[in-house]
Structure 1
Amino acid sequence: MALAAVSSCGVFSAISGSSLATAASMARVALPEMRKHGYSASLATGTLAAGGTLGIMIPPSIALLLYALITEQSVDQMFIAAISPGLLGLLLYCVAIALTVLIKPDLAQPGEPTTIRQKVSGLKGIVPFGMIFAVIIGGIYGGIFTPTEASAFGAAGAFIIAVFRGMRWAGFRAAIEETLLLPSMICFMIIGAEIFGYFLSVSRISFSLAELVVSLDLGPYAVLLAVLALYMLLGCVMDSIAMLLLTVPVVFPVIAQAGFDPVWFGIVTVIAVEMGLITPPVGMNVFVIKSVAPDVPIGAIFKGVFPFVLSDIARLALLIAFPGLALAML
């Protein structure tokens, strides 16, 4: 069930493009079922908090779009380069779940066995998601419409599918209310993070840290590791969007001068920023899950995301060692 939940997060994030929206939406659907079937609170909430971070990498991605705008890179190339690292992240998250349950079997109860026919039959439910994903990504890559226009097509497609699946006025009204309530909660969290980020900007802490990295006169990979360490440090106290807005204009020239590919660096940067969404003390996804499950201690959620942080570190190491994982499809 945990594997299904994190995989569903990957599918949903391919449509929404937002980590916070993915975490909040999937937590409302999957968390009650996981806890009802005997999952520990830490594993259930940690899986969903980490699974939500896939929304920042699997295209279409708001963070990748923002990076492309700041650095004047092609949005299409950023999205294409993100596909393999995004799928790699999903795979490593599944490995993290499997190893966690293997080491501590009491964290989850075994589910009911199913036949191959039942598994294949269950895939029918994701066909509509696949259709919407194909329209969004195919339209962007084919130059039919912009990412903003693609979101409108995605919303329209989701509405049409819901109507054909039996949604009527009561369901439509409930969907609108839920849509208004959920982003309102998320927006207030982002507003607080942005205000905090602004105060950090005024204090010039982020600029001072970036200037310190430049002044050390290090080699290319030493500069890269220092920048990634900077992002992981800032991720503990800042929102991902605020981090990109404040630091990319400062560190990008340094990275370009070091000879790194700008598209590849964008992927690595977004993964590092993604880790900030689940690291203490200000992991935004963790607080989103906390708002959905107020009875779960915040410490238990951070404990649950620890294996996923390790898998993200492994993904960063693989991308640094093998840049082709991101650039091969360009």
Structure 2
Amino acid sequence: MDQFEHQLVPTNNIKLSLYTAGPRDGRPVWLLHGFPECWYSWLHQAKVLANQGYRVLIPEMRGYGASSAPEAVEAYDLITLCADIQGAMNYLGHEQVAMIGHDWGAPIAWHLALLEPARVKAVCGMSVPFGGRPRQPAINMMREAYKDRFHYIVYFQQSGLAEAEMAADIPRTMRLMMHGLSNSQEGNTLVQDKPADAAWLEDYIDPGSPPHWCSEEAFAVYVKTFEQSGFHGPINWYRNFERNWERTAPLAGKQIEQPALFLIGDRDPVGSLEAYTIKKMPSVIPKVEQHVIADCGHWIQAEKPAEVNAQLLPFLAAHFAAY
């Protein structure tokens, strides 16, 4: 980690922990992580991008690691999370950026493209597609569809339960999540055939070690991240679907006009859950390129870094060239 600089950036009434690499005058590329991830998940992209002359910026998102983690649920709505990055860009004097996000970082990247059309020149989302503002909060549809069956997002709505379960043994939690989302053939941890009010991970056997794609060094950073800040803040991101829907009303019907890239693994369970949204993406992002990474689960940038970089680098070269 010696090649990274670290600072706490004041933004949007919080402190945002930010790791940076690459030349200071390079074109800024933001890398936004998801759940349950950490900034270090972008290691393989950061090194390559920095070597290509880009200025790489990787925040620990609100609620994670050394960043501020407010207690209130409403402190984690989508527009507030976007404002964290907007404020950091203001603080750093960024006038043009490329925005890249994975998992929950993808909706932040997509919405920053909508909110900042002049500043976000190119956008990439990984694993989570963008289908525009839904007709109602997504959680309403989830509760109806999974009222008799377990779904992790519905489970997350119960205050205190998920964070306590996940924090009870953080290394075990991370091993189960990494293996369960690496390969949908091994058992989808997101939707399960058990009662809707059951505990989440209790039925799974600890594999004992992280997947082959996660080094011991990387795994230690993941564990330290959640030992430092817990899971309350990250899970609060999932408790704002109604508030997100309300606060994004001014964006209803708007398209993302910038050049865009969407990447997803062929074994990512999100692919089946979001199949309809993936199919309709070109109707709301006219300039989107979509690519499926073979033999790859949800942790796409870590599982298949060479394949991801092979898509990412030419996309940025075409639409956001380094100096």
Q: What TM-score, normalized by structure 2, do the two folds share?
A: 0.31
Structure possessing the higher relative contact order (Cα contacts under 8 Å, 6 or more residues apart): 1
Instruction: Looking at secondary structure, tell me which structure has more strand per residue.
Output: 2
Which structure has the bigger radius of gyration? 1
Instruction: Looking at secondary structure, tell me which structure has more helix per residue.
Output: 1
Q: What TM-score, normalized by structure 1, do the two folds share?
A: 0.30
